[in-house]
Structure 1
Amino acid sequence: MTSKEIRDLAPAEITTKLADIRAELLQLRLKKNTGQVEKTHTIRALRKDVARLETILNQKKAAKAA
């Protein structure tokens, strides 16, 4: 996901997307430990998506509070 796509989402949608990505990340980590993941770069991409989602969510919360 790009930052622009994330900024267009509502905070509730960001929260649900964040939960989905974290669950997917957990599954990939478990598969990696058992040696079943071929594309390990997806783990890094998901971690970056989580960071983007959290950053934009915090920015929206701060803007709402101000």
Structure 2
Amino acid sequence: MELTKIRSLSDEELKTEQAKAGEQIFRIRFQKSLGNQEGIKKLRVLKTDIARIKTIARERTLSAEREANPVVKNVAPAKSTRTARKNAKKG
């Protein structure tokens, strides 16, 4: 499945596609254990599809979290009083 097609899917559709791919992987592995060598090349394609789906789902959750909790810019820490005390002792 192409990346642009995966990105256009909704969250629910992503979950169903991931479940379908997982089910197909299970069937191919089962057939492989029975001695049937057909569809072994499809395993790699299905695994990459699942990885892409999981990556896009994770990107969406992270972007939603960023929108919900905007990052507060760091404020410069207070100046150290240690150097000020050293200079006061010297002078």
Give the share of equivalent positions with the same residue, in percent.
27
> What is the alpha-carbon distance in structure 1 between the residues aligned to residue 63 and residue 2 of structure 2?
20
**How big is the alpha-carbon RMSD for the aligned residues of Structure 1 and Structure 2?**
1.0
> What is the alpha-carbon distance in structure 2 between the residues aligned to residue 24 and residue 39 of structure 1?
10
1:7 is aligned to 7
Aligned residues: 66
Higher relative contact order (CA 8 A, sep 6+): 1
Where does structure 1 lack aligned partners over 5 or more consecutive residues?
none
Task: Provide Cα deviations, 1:26-63, integer angstroms capped at 9, x if missing partner.
Answer: 01011111111323110111111110111111111111
State the TM-score, normalizing by the size of structure 2.
0.68
Q: Which has the higher helix share?
A: 1
2:84 is aligned to none
> What is the alpha-carbon distance in structure 2 between the residues aligned to residue 27 and residue 62 of structure 1?
33
Counting only pairs closer than 5 Å after superposition, residues 34-53 of structure 1 correspond to structure 2 as 34-53=34-53
